Amino acid sequence: MLDILLLRKDLDTAIARLETRKKPQAFLNVEAFQALESERKTLQTRTEELQAQRNQLSKQIGMLMGKGDKDGAEAAKAQVAASKVELEQSAARLEQIQAELQAMLVAVPNLPHESVPVGSDESGNVEVRRWGTPATFSFEVKDHVDVGTPLGLDFDMGVKLSGSRFTVMKGQIARLHRALSQFMLDVQTQEHGYTECYVPYAVNADSLKGTGQLPKFEGDLFAAKKGGQDGEPVPDNAALYLIPTSEVPLTNFVRDVVVAEADLPIKLTAHTPCFRSEAGSYGRDTRGMIRQHQFDKVEMVQIVHPDKSYEALEEMTRHAEAVLQKLGLPYRVMSLCTGDMGFGAAKTYDLEVWLPAQNTYREISSVSNCEAFQARRLQARFKNAQGKNELLHTLNGSGLAVGRTLVAVLENYQQADGSVVVPEVLRPYLGGVSVLAPAA
């Protein structure tokens, strides 16, 4: 959530920065905001006047009573009583205005950092660097569906059990998928200093509000239906949602917490399934595993001092790149433009891996600095050197999306006979197996 003081001090500049994302009307009703702010200022000024008047009258009452002027004292008391009524009415209206302003603010995205390229959509993204050279093949390249199906990918069973955009893995493919997640966790914990966590896969609404998925993006979530005791309905505030990413529970570790500055940075990682309804994405990537309702991800989260967050962004991007480099998968790093960034991000790098069957790069990791946007919702703070509470900065990134990494391994390491060479770094996780081959 944005700092409302930014909008109060320089609304025009804030709107100009929001316009580089999308039109502000999509997020903020400027006229309604200005009207509420004008009323708030008037009420606050009147409230301060009434409080000062009441204080003055209270002193006068004492003085009048001391002089024996009962009539004057009673008149002053009547004025105090009248101002009390108006003060209570003003306080109630101010509380209502604050609630309306908060409701407006939760729908407004983060302001892009000044270094973010300006653009309306993904065509405005800027390539930062690339690593590796895509392999050339002496045979007709297959996509991951055709390579993986003989090895244990079962899309029909996924449809049978759950519906479209679900996949079953069996045998060699299931083992390779598990090996990838274990390898990623080992890299992030043993080489990059993250603490491995096991977190709930269903979270409450407060957790999703804290990281920005609610209320605006409820349509992208899967709600977990709970049964009440003895047939009683479950209260709305008891609803749970399946996590869209473990960024949600990990970042909420610091909700309503004041962290000691000496404990920063906090670096957390978790391997979890992720659940997304993919609202608005129907018709896109319907073949295979690129866009699933359920997929696994190894997530990285850093909670840092505000002065260190852009340094942390570069570091986390390198941490994700390290996994791709160890797997020998060609990729490029893209700086997302203002029109392609996520709701809570101030700056984002996407890592895109080379997929031979598509003859293009596809996203496999997204690393974002949210600055204080999530921390303000979470009330996640630290005690600074002056002893004052200050908002933290939060960052998150994929290290990596496991399913898409599986896709990239199948396509980049495929052989003419239908087998797949196992990247060397994964072989210890597969008991030394170096090649996955279809059953004879």
Q: What is the pLDDT of residue 235?
A: 60
110 is in an annotated binding site: no
**Which domains, from first to last, does the chain contain?**
4-107 (1.10.287.40), 122-436 (3.30.930.10)
| 417-438 confidence digits (pLDDT tens) | 999 999 999 999 999 999 999 9
- What count of Cα atoms within 13 Å lies in the side-chain half-sphere of residue 274? 24
Mean pLDDT of 247-257: 98
245 is in an annotated binding site: yes
Query: pTM higher than 0.95, yes or no?
Result: no
| Catalytically annotated residue among 165, 276, 377, 381 | 276
Q: For the segment 328-380, what is each residue's pLDDT rounded down to a tens digit?
A: 999 999 999 999 999 999 999 999 999 999 999 999 999 999 999 999 999 99
Is 138 catalytic? The answer is no
Give CA separation, 204 vs 208, 328, 423, in Å: 7, 39, 39
SS3 368: strand
SS percent in the chain: helix, strand, coil, step 5: 45, 20, 35
* pLDDT tens digits along 163-206: 999 999 999 999 999 999 999 999 999 999 999 999 999 999 99
Is 191 annotated as a binding-site member?
A: no
Of 366, 368, 371, 411, which residue is the catalytic one? 366
Distance, CA of 203 to CA of 436 (rounded, Å): 38
Q: What is the pLDDT of residues 338-351, one digit of tens each?
A: 999 999 999 999 99
| 398 labeled binding residue | yes
**Is 287 an annotated catalytic residue?**
no
Average of per-residue pLDDT across 252-260:
97
- Compute the distance between CA of residue 17 and CA of residue 10 in angstroms, rounded to an integer: 11
The reply, when asked if residue 39 is annotated as ligand binding, is: no
> Any catalytic annotation for residue 39?
no
21: annotated active-site residue: no
| 369 labelled binding-site residue | no
Percent of the chain with pLDDT over 90: 80
Whether the ω angle into residue 242 lies within 30 degrees of 0, i.e. cis, is no
Phi, psi for residue 333 in degrees, rounded to 5: -105, 130
Site of tokens 């990838």? 180
- Identify the pLDDT of residue 48: 87
- Average pLDDT over the chain reads 93
3-state secondary structure of 392: coil
pLDDT for 59: 80
Which helix (H) or strand (E) covers residue 398, if one does?
strand 393-401
Question: Each residue of 75-97: pLDDT tens digit?
Answer: 877 887 888 888 899 989 999 99
Has 277 been labeled as part of a binding site? yes
Q: 3-state SS string over 199-253? A: CCCEEEHHHHHHHCCCCCCHHHCEEECCCCHHHCCCCHHHCEEECCCCHHHHHHH
Q: How far apart are CA 61 and CA 328, in angstroms?
A: 84
pLDDT in tens, 38-69: 999 999 998 888 888 878 877 887 777 777 77
Which of 175, 255, 291, 427 is the catalytic position? Answer: 291
Catalytic hit among 332, 363, 419, 427: 363
Our answer to whether residue 284 is catalytic in this structure is: no
φ, ψ for residue 152, nearest 5 deg: 130, 0
Most confident of 15-24, 48-57, 68-77, 237-246: 237-246
Torsion angle (degrees, nearest 10) of CA 374, 377, 380, 382 = 90
The residues, any chain, with a CB within 8 Å of residue 60's CB and separated by 6 or more, are 72, 76
Q: Which residues partner with 394 through β-bridges?
A: 303
| 127 is known to lie in a ligand binding site | no
**Mean pLDDT throughout 210-235?**
81
Checking if the pLDDT of 281 tops 80, the result is no
